[in-house]
Amino acid sequence: QLHKFVAGTGPIRPLSEVGAGAANLVLLPIQQYKQDGRVLHGLRKGAVGFVKTVTLETVHTSQKVTRCVASVLDDLVSSEDTAPRRLEETQVYEQPANIRAGLKHAKHSLSRGVNSAAHAIIAVPVKEYRRNGPKGALTSVIRAVPVAVLQPVIGATEALSYTLLGFRNGMAPDIKRDEEDKFR
């Protein structure tokens, strides 16, 4: 039982899954040979399963990394008076069911990042100009440059994360169901 628990933990799980897929690459041809002598059929099933497992785990890990990068960048940009909008807080309830839904989420994330950058570099300085004159506008532009650079990057990393999540959920809808059930 302990080995199943360890194999299911965070960083070990993808390695465990790929290892199981590699084992099937060897074991399925042997099993198929013992059943009916069709080694090539077992080899094909093992190879397809292994490629699917490697692809799924690569997409899953990449999605988690991009989600983490987006969250860290969002924390960097967020000031103390505004709460950061975290991707992982909305991810479970807005999980895209397939790649098309993932791209739709990605479009919204990217446009939100670009709009936020435009707001920081245009709207805030205009407001400061009205309030404090040219000096206030210049100060707010200087403060807004890092935000204006990072917000589109945050939007792009969130967009990539949603796209990968949609791709993963399209390949393995059972994982999506398990995650939704876990957080309900």
Q: Is the pTM above the cut of 0.85?
A: no
Residue 92, pLDDT score: 44
Tell me the per-residue pLDDT of 23-74, one tens digit each, with 9 for 90 and over: 999 999 999 999 998 899 999 999 999 999 999 999 999 999 999 999 999 8
- Residue 107 tokens read as 């479009």
Interatomic CA distance for residues 84 and 93, integer angstroms: 18
Q: For residue range 161-175, what is the model confidence (pLDDT) as tens digits?
A: 999 999 999 999 988
Euclidean distance between the first and the last CA atom of the chain, given in angstroms as a whole number: 26
Q: Which two tokens stand for residue 109?
A: 């994330």
